Amino acid sequence: FGPPGHAYVYLIYGMYECLNLVCEPAGAAGCVLIRALEPCAGIELMQQRRPAARRTEDLCSGPGRLTLALGITRELNGRDVTTGDLVIRRPLPAPPFSIDVTPRIGISRCQDLPLRFIIHGNRFVSRASKQPKLV
């Protein structure tokens, strides 16, 4: 996947790009799939890229939707996410929140593993869980 702190962008189902952040040393498998985000800037451009999204909540609610809305392509694969075109930054101060852990979705193996983390009650998640557990 590359060194930690870099993007791993790949094509899935022959049509959608997915963004992962590498978090393990080079040579070790370890990435975090970014499934959704809550847009706070650039919303008009995201709406142009995803005209089918009728609500702001739908712009980036899913890995394929997220990359389309943000204009992320495989050209960004391997980029350092601390500098350059694709930068991941600390969020602005936010009110306190709780984290839910849920089973994984959209995969056929290890679906029962609690490896999906979402902000409790956030309406921008890619798919709500029926049985979230607070962490």
In CATH, what number is assigned to the domain containing residue 7? 3.10.300.10
If asked whether residues 106 and 127 sit together in one domain, one would say: yes
pLDDT for position 79: 94
If asked whether residues 78 and 119 sit together in one domain, one would say: no
Mean pLDDT in residue range 85-93: 81
Domain extent for 123 = 94-135
**Per the structure, how many domains does the chain have?**
2
pLDDT digits 0-9 by tens, 95-122: 888 888 887 777 767 777 777 888 888 8
pLDDT for position 84: 81
Strands across the sheet containing 99-102:
116-119, 99-102, 133-134
With b for 16 or more beta-carbon neighbours within 10 A and e for fewer, the 103-117 pattern comes to: beeeeeeeeeeeebe
Mean pLDDT in residue range 85-102: 83
If asked whether residues 9 and 71 sit together in one domain, one would say: yes
With a cut of 60, say whether residue 135 has pLDDT above it. Answer: no
If asked whether residues 77 and 54 sit together in one domain, one would say: yes
If asked whether residues 28 and 69 sit together in one domain, one would say: yes
pLDDT for position 5: 93
Residues forming a β-bridge with 20: 8, 33
User: 103 near 75, Cβ under 8 Å?
Assistant: no
Q: Of 133 and 12, which is predicted with more confidence?
A: 12
30 half-sphere exposure, CB direction, 13 A CA radius: 9
Structure tokens at 81: 């996410």
What is the rounded average pLDDT for all residues in the chain?
87
pLDDT for position 46: 97
If asked whether residues 4 and 63 sit together in one domain, one would say: yes
